[in-house]
Amino acid sequence: MVENKLGRQIPEPYASQYGVYTGEFTHIKHYQRAAAKVQPVKPRQPKLMQSIHDAIVATGLKDGMTISFHHHFREGDYVMNMVMAEIAKMGIKNLSLAPSSISNVHAPLIDYIKSGVVTNITSSGLRDKLGAAISNGIMANPVVIRSHGGRARAIASGDIHIDVAFLGAPSADEYGNINGVNGKATCGSLGYAKIDAKYADKVVAITDTLVPYPNTPIAIPQTDVDYVVQVDAIGDPKGIAKGAARFTKDPKELLIAQYAAQVITASDYFKPGFSFQTGSGGSSLAVTRYLKQAMEKQNVHASFALGGITSAMVSLMRAGLVDNLLDVQDFDHPSAESLAEDPHHYEIDAEMYASPLSKGSVINQLDVAVLSALEVDTKYNVNVITGSDGVIRGASGGHSDTAAACKMSLVIAPLIRGRIPTIVDDVNTVVTPGASVDVVVTEVGIAINPKRQDLMAMFKDLNVPQFTIQELRDKAYAVTGTPAKIHYGDRPVALIEYRDGTLIDVVNHV
């Protein structure tokens, strides 16, 4: 075992293989960008394949390779299950699966793990049945959990080498020009898929909307695509928009949002040209709404809003309060539509969004980020991956990326959920280190990380109750009692990579 800087125990040989977390920016070094092996396409050589089977054969996919998918279709995705079924039928085994994330709909993966088709997984997160099965130990090798920026880094630096990327394409032409804004199942930005297309040796575009050449706008160009396959349906539009939050009426969520908006607007960052990322979820949408009110009232407009784009952000741009939306993925249908229509709504890839090894990601320019949490501990460490039962059910997302890079990070969470405290002595699993977290916002008040003495001074007269993080924990425990320790087994089922590639924590089986 090697103890990392946060006191987390990292077992060998993983500690040696990945290195262990030593700080937010201690592993940012020169590197040689990875690159694809390219099979050039000559004039008159077609890319259109008759079936997914034919495309898989054409790619030369074989045992032991790494394949990838994007998660822009979320709970509406048909592509991963469709391709995996064909791969399983073809008898290919021992694959590494490297999607940008995995949703509930991908529960069939459990069978492919059991049958040896899939023997390694890296993902932003795991949900539901698959998360539970993996936490229960069905895989011999631990899953590697990577942040969105961390995944882009891993691909760009060669830590993940994708042999074949399968890309669900809302629209494509026969030569592989793709966008996410036209078609039967539109998802808007293809920000995560762009990276796979750029770095994978072989890229297969799977579409249900084949359009005449050239398909514009071009989110992913023909020069990044080897084969095109037409299928009946790549996704369920309802599932793609599923989870798109509506404006909350929950008084607790509204209070959290109001406090968060007060923190933001009282800060020195809130001035003309400021920038923010508020994300999805009930409270986050409400923060965006409250921000809108303050921006209108004080005539402060933002240079850009980032991320995960929601209709609430779009409405700010439409109101002239935000100059640009920089969009790595869309959380709802109105956002996807806005990307199609508004030239100031701009599609960016995951590397530009958040990679710590890029020549400067957008998060480096970000003033304020509002992030959620399953747990926050008294060291300000945040868990967004494991539940209170120790089971993997969340996703790393852009949490640790944004928190590390922005000028002020707010972690918003209710003090307790049901009978479970959110503010605790030690989070089950660290995804984001406390060093990256500036203000914790709950419905009873806020706690400012003592390392940010400047913020303490800035918010001296703020009309929001302020506590130490220990006081917030005490308030939570006063309701729930001190939570019992989770009884983990001794076998690692997930390695939690920090965005720089080192291990910040490990999840054992339950």
Q: Which residues bind its own copies (CB under 8 A)?
A: 25, 28-45, 47, 156, 175-176, 203, 212-214, 216-218, 221-226, 273, 303-304, 324, 326, 343-344, 346, 348, 351-352, 355-365, 404-406
Nearest to 444 by CA among 422, 420, 459: 422
Cα distance between the two ends of the chain: 19
C-alpha pair distances (Å), 482 with each of 424, 425, 445, 471, 479: 9, 9, 20, 14, 9
In the complex, what is the shortest distance from the CB of residue 398 to its own copies, in angstroms, rounded to a whole number? 14
Using CA atoms, how far apart are residues 325 and 275, in angstroms rounded to an integer?
A: 10
In the complex, what is the shortest distance from the CB of residue 31 to its own copies, in angstroms, rounded to a whole number? 6
Nearer to its own copies, 28 or 479 (CB): 28
Determine the 3-state secondary structure of 84 from DSSP: helix
In the complex, what is the shortest distance from the CB of residue 366 to its own copies, in angstroms, rounded to a whole number? 9
Nearest to 207 by CA among 181, 229, 177: 229
Asked if 277 and 368 count as a contact pair (C-beta separation under 8 A), the reply is: yes
Nearer to its own copies, 33 or 89 (CB): 33
18 phi and psi, to 5 degrees? -100, -20
Cβ-Cβ contacts under 8 Å for 490 (sequence gap 6 or more): 508
Upstream peptide bond of 483 is cis (omega within 30 degrees of 0): no
Nearer to its own copies, 475 or 499 (CB): 499
In the complex, what is the shortest distance from the CB of residue 441 to its own copies, in angstroms, rounded to a whole number? 22
Nearer to its own copies, 200 or 263 (CB): 200
Neighbours of 90 (CB within 10 A): 14
Nearer to its own copies, 198 or 292 (CB): 198
DSSP structural state of residue 2: E
Nearer to its own copies, 104 or 182 (CB): 182
In the complex, what is the shortest distance from the CB of residue 224 to its own copies, in angstroms, rounded to a whole number? 7
In the complex, what is the shortest distance from the CB of residue 417 to its own copies, in angstroms, rounded to a whole number? 32
SS3 letters across 138-169: CCCCCEEECCHHHHHHHHHHCCCCCCEEEEEE
* Tokens of residue 171, six digits: 């629209």
Nearer to its own copies, 417 or 452 (CB): 452
Nearer to its own copies, 95 or 225 (CB): 225
In the complex, what is the shortest distance from the CB of residue 216 to its own copies, in angstroms, rounded to a whole number? 5
Give the length of the chain: 510
Residue 351 one-letter amino acid? E
In the complex, what is the shortest distance from the CB of residue 427 to its own copies, in angstroms, rounded to a whole number? 24
Nearer to its own copies, 25 or 63 (CB): 25
Neighbours of 344 (CB within 10 A): 12
Asked if 124 and 191 count as a contact pair (C-beta separation under 8 A), the reply is: no
In the complex, what is the shortest distance from the CB of residue 496 to its own copies, in angstroms, rounded to a whole number? 21
In the complex, what is the shortest distance from the CB of residue 273 to its own copies, in angstroms, rounded to a whole number? 6
Beta strand pairing call for 95-97 and 420-421:
unpaired
Nearer to its own copies, 183 or 356 (CB): 356
Using CA atoms, how far apart are residues 340 and 320, in angstroms rounded to an integer?
A: 18
